[in-house]
Amino acid sequence: MRYLVCIKQTPDTAELPKISPEEAASGKLSVNLVVNPWDEHAIEAGLQLMETYGGTTGAVTVGDEGAIDALRSALAMGCKDATLVNYAGDSDPQIAAELLAAAVKQDGDVDVVVMGQMTVDGNSGLTPIALARKLDWPMLTGVAKIVELADGSITVERVVGQARLTVKAPTPVVLSVIKEIGEPRYPTFINIRKAARVKIPELTAEDLGVTPPAPVVHISNFRKPPARDAQVKLFEGSPQEAAAALIDALLEEKVL
């Protein structure tokens, strides 16, 4: 069995408020970059597959030289190998999917591709879907649990609104997982040391035989949402009186 986790390097969520719209538009971020938090859950899912059903789990990302740090994090968590698709040009979900699909095909007999449901910088959630389309593989979104992988098929639990659906699809398949798939494990100090010494192979678009198309998604404006004008009101009196006053206030604001 072969599992491939597609990850992305994104700004640390603790530092997102520090990014100005102008800095985001330039693409040159001066903040700490880490593995996209949703993709950490994808790595955990890939490692669970390897531990439960055998085989190997690798990681791949599209980015510049700096993205190697994200791949080293994946190795430290337990991935057996990692590959950088070195691409520093303008990108969007379609271009990322084009490059990732070529990397998946070149990797060989991949049974399951695992991805986080979205990234904290773009938030579109389109890349997993575009990748499945490029590969012409089934796509399962909102995956919260992998039930079984056997006989050329995979059974998973999907979260859809307030419901859970158990679905089965043939492999190879692309999974888009959510945080319920499992808490990402912490890398050990020994694994961090080992990952730091690994020579990570790099591929270019030319190596993959891909000519990335022009971006079709263009962000025309970056801006922060307006600050909320929050107000706090305390209701005094007995619990019954406070509850009655709260209901009156909610009715007045047309919340109820």
Residue 175 lies in a domain: yes
Report the pLDDT value the prediction gives residue 12, as an integer from 0 to 100: 73
Helix runs in 81-233, H state only: 93-107, 127-135, 189-197
Q: How far apart are CA 199 and CA 81, in angstroms?
A: 10
Q: What tokens were used for 91?
A: 């990108």
Residue 211 lies in a domain: no
Q: Residue 141's domain is classified under what CATH number? A: 3.40.50.620
Q: Does 219 have pLDDT greater than 80?
A: no
Residue 169 lies in a domain: yes
Q: How far apart are CA 114 and CA 222, in angstroms?
A: 30
Residue 24 lies in a domain: yes
> Which residue range forms the structural domain that includes residue 76?
2-203
Residue 238 lies in a domain: no
Q: How many CA atoms lie within 13 A of 120 on its CB side?
A: 18
Greater confidence, 183 or 215?
Answer: 183
Q: How many CA atoms lie within 13 A of 37 on its CB side?
A: 12
Residue 210 lies in a domain: no
Residue 22 lies in a domain: yes
Report the pLDDT value the prediction gives residue 226, as an integer from 0 to 100: 75
Q: How far apart are CA 49 and CA 96, in angstroms?
A: 24
Residue 128 lies in a domain: yes
Q: How many domains does the chain have?
A: 1
Going through 137-241 in order, the beta strands assigned E by DSSP cover 139-150, 153-160, 163-170, 173-177, 202-203
Give 154-188 pLDDT, tens digit per residue. 999 999 988 999 999 999 999 999 999 999 999 99
Give 2-58 pLDDT, tens digit per residue. 999 999 988 777 766 666 655 655 556 666 778 899 999 999 999 999 999 999 999
